[in-house]
Amino acid sequence: MKLSTSFFIMLACLSSVAQKAPKTENVILVTLDGYRWQELFGGPQKKIYKTKKYTKDLKAIKGQYYDTDPVKSRAKLMPFMWGTIGGQGQVYGNKKLHNKVTLTNGYKFSYPGYNEILTGWGDRRVNSNDYPDDPNTNIFDFLKAKGFDGKMFCAATWDAFPRIINTKRNGVPVFVEMKADSSGGFHRNGIDIDKWQTTIPPHNPYAKTDTFTYKFAKEYIHRYHPRFAFIGFDETDDFAHGGEYDAYLGTAHTLDSYLQDLWDYLQSDPQYKGKTTLIVTCDHGRGDIPKLEWRHHGRVMGAEYIWIAAMGPGIDALGEIRTREHLHQNQIAATIAALLGYDYKPDHYAGEPIRSLAPQK
């Protein structure tokens, strides 16, 4: 009897703590296309950068990002990921520690991955990057029905996102391929993109088109204050396919600096400050064997392994998750809904929320 009484007291305490905990009112989802868990958790991989054809400037890579300790190495490569999210949030998917995050779609390429992230279902029918409008309702449709209409948007480098999000069905503004027009300004929603032509970091010439995607996204967030925003970066995938390991790492480093810049901005804006959760993940991994497979995905062993990082109000500062567990890509949509206080129940199968990110109310 005593045990059950103290159990109820404990429950009461827990629920009062939960009520006091700051709440997520906005979610920003960011994806780094095809960025491998190996570099995220281990920094530059020796077996790849030592191969001459993949690395133009070995000295530069070693000088910028390398340390004999992989924990220091990864923090040099992605200082915001490990200094801030790794300190204040949670990072899942270090396969070496048996903390796994995998796809449930068997395809291991982009459209099926984004379908799984956004709908919560690794639908086998979604089997091509040329797939037409995604027929499955997604987190945007779900949130629209909860009053988020006009409070969501997507900016992405890849032009498949209007089909993946199915903007024809839900009317969510999706801005893709923000290319600068040198002949004199290029405007989207009144935002002048042309002025950003010279803002690519000079010390790191990578992530050019992702830079436009980012600058546009930040400006849009600043002007229109969406409550759910999705930013889709792409150039990690491009450079990996091209076998350019320097550029792949350089892009990851630049995108990490954009995450830092975005987070700093969010903490300066009253709508977002202390009320916004940032989730960073990827659509698929890549192969693991250095000779060629690291470049590719799809029918490549190991490309099913991904990672998820998140931080925000109410998310415990657990850092790198070192417990043995197996999460899935199809849990991201329900996690976003749960963070915003909703039970994600679309008209199709969907994965459960990740409870260590979004505890049950």
Of 19, 78, 20, the closest CA to residue 44 belongs to 78
Of 235, 184, 230, the closest CA to residue 208 belongs to 235
How buried is residue 181: exposed, middle or buried, by Cβ count under 10 Å (0-12/13-18/19+)? Answer: exposed
CB contact set of 355 (below 8 Å; sequence gap of 6+): none
How buried is residue 194: exposed, middle or buried, by Cβ count under 10 Å (0-12/13-18/19+)? Answer: middle
Nearer to Zn ion, 134 or 283 (CB): 283
Q: Using the rule CB under 5 A, is 232 a contact of Zn ion?
A: no
Nearer to Zn ion, 33 or 39 (CB): 33
Q: Work out which of 283, 288, 304, 320 binds Zn ion, going by CB under 5 A.
A: 283
Of 260, 262, 246, the closest CA to residue 204 belongs to 246
Stretch of 79-87, 276-284, 302-310, 335-343 contacting Zn ion, by CB under 5 A: 276-284
Tokens standing for residue 77: 């490569």
Interacting residues with Zn ion between 154 and 213 (CB under 5 A): none
**What is the nearest approach in angstroms of Zn ion to the Cβ of residue 113?**
6
Nearer to Zn ion, 255 or 358 (CB): 255
Nearer to Zn ion, 34 or 287 (CB): 34
Q: Using the rule CB under 5 A, is 39 a contact of Zn ion?
A: no
**What is the nearest approach in angstroms of Zn ion to the Cβ of residue 97?**
25
Q: Using the rule CB under 5 A, is 285 a contact of Zn ion?
A: no
Residue of closest CB approach to Zn ion: 110
**Which residue's entry shows tokens 């300190």?**
87
CB 278 within 8 A of CB 235: no
**What is the nearest approach in angstroms of Zn ion to the Cβ of residue 297?**
7
Of 332, 349, 359, the closest CA to residue 92 belongs to 332
For 172-316, where are the alpha helices, taking DSSP H only? Answer: 208-224, 235-241, 245-266
CB 233 within 8 A of CB 208: no
Q: Work out which of 104, 105, 110, 254 binds Zn ion, going by CB under 5 A.
A: 110
Stretch of 12-20, 78-86, 109-117, 301-309 contacting Zn ion, by CB under 5 A: 109-117
Of 317, 277, 316, the closest CA to residue 87 belongs to 317
**What is the nearest approach in angstroms of Zn ion to the Cβ of residue 303?**
10
Q: Using the rule CB under 5 A, is 33 a contact of Zn ion?
A: yes
Q: Using the rule CB under 5 A, is 34 a contact of Zn ion?
A: yes
β-sheet bridge partners, residue 27: 228, 277
Of 294, 237, 291, the closest CA to residue 51 belongs to 291
**What is the nearest approach in angstroms of Zn ion to the Cβ of residue 108?**
9
Stretch of 203-211, 214-222, 236-244, 326-334 contacting Zn ion, by CB under 5 A: 236-244
Q: How many CB atoms lie within 10 A of CB 94?
A: 20
Q: Using the rule CB under 5 A, is 93 a contact of Zn ion?
A: no
Stretch of 54-62, 133-141, 197-205, 275-283 contacting Zn ion, by CB under 5 A: 275-283
Q: Using the rule CB under 5 A, is 123 a contact of Zn ion?
A: no
Q: Using the rule CB under 5 A, is 238 a contact of Zn ion?
A: no
Q: Contact residues for Zn ion (CB under 5 A)?
A: 33-34, 110, 237, 283
